[in-house]
Amino acid sequence: MSSDEDEGWVPFSRRPGWSDVVPIPQDDGPNPVVPIAYRDEFRETMDYFRAVYFANERSYRSLQLTSEAIKINPGNYTVWHFRRLIIDSLNVDLWEELEYVDEIASSNSKNYQIWHHRRWLAEKLGTGSANKELEFTKKILALDAKNYHAWSHRQWVLQAFGGWEDELDYCCQLLDDDIFNNSAWNQRYFVITRSPLLGGLQGTRESEGRYAVEAILKNPENESPWRYLRGLYKGDPDLLVGASLVSEVCLKVLQTSHNCIFALCLLLDLLSHGLQPCTELRTAVQRLSSEMELPDASLPGTVCSILERMDPMRSNYWAWRRSNLPCQAS
């Protein structure tokens, strides 16, 4: 007895409801270079699937066959595609199909085909599926907070159906759990720039700037809030330079933290766009320069030299930045 039969699987060739179907074997050509030793269950399931697929048989038994084919290979695009054709033809209950996808996704949460199928279902169900889809992505993200497919689907749902009201609070919750969760930072930026309820960057820049600064001061080595802070001024370097909280957070980190790479990176960009540094900023940079026994240079040049030492992985880049500084940089 085969292992498949031990598990309770009955070959299609022994099922009365399939006696009229002639299976179509896979054609690997007369002399396959590396023939694959498929399990009997896989081989026979796909042989019968090919038979109903080429016959375009859109029946309930074909629907059940796709379930079995998906179970053994959830990534088979053709099987999922044919399943959608069958669902359309038979007017299958889409809510039941969504429950089916829930079960499959629980152990295949990074499968492209499953997420594509789920979006297809949500599009057909319309706004009534929004809450279920948002809750479903929450469930997936609770297991894997950086699951790209779940985030992508969640963003699509928000834009297609709404549900923005609690999304910023959800981002806060995720960041309270893990302030280093760059996916949650990305979602937060998505919300403030896309939500119709918040007024865009102009309406949130001040409060979000304070939020980012607070996160930076707690963990200066966390790159995400630094990137987030920059994003609040995206496309407007003059506004970035003119924002006192930006230069102030650079100063606080330079004065209090040994890990100040991100503060120096931001400071260099501020200087490159015309920031006139205060005495305290100059003093903080000069202190680091003296500790490293670096030669005297302009303030931007000194920042580049410090970064060459502190950030050896990108030392060539910082050297290039230093060599491209304007001569009049002070």
Do 164 and 191 meet the contact criterion of CB atoms below 8 Å apart? yes
Q: Is residue 41 part of a domain?
A: yes
Tens of pLDDT along 266-280? 999 999 999 999 999
d(CA 266, CA 111): 38
Maximum distance among all alpha carbons in the chain? 89
- Average pLDDT along the chain: 93
Provide the domain limits for residue 63. 1-92
Q: Is residue 261 part of a domain?
A: no
* Entry pTM: 0.89
d(CA 79, CA 116): 13
Joined together, the tokens standing for residue 72 give 């053994």
Q: Is residue 88 part of a domain?
A: yes
Catalogue the active-site residues. 110
Total tally of structural domains belonging to the chain? 1
For residue 3, is pLDDT > 60?
Answer: no
Tens of pLDDT along 98-144? 999 999 998 899 999 999 999 999 999 999 999 999 999 999 999 99
Tens of pLDDT along 45-88? 999 999 999 999 999 999 999 999 999 999 999 999 999 999 99
Q: Is residue 197 part of a domain?
A: no
d(CA 286, CA 302): 8
Q: Is residue 141 part of a domain?
A: no
Q: Is residue 190 part of a domain?
A: no
Q: Is residue 66 part of a domain?
A: yes
Q: Is residue 296 part of a domain?
A: no
**pLDDT above 70: percentage of residues in the chain:** 97
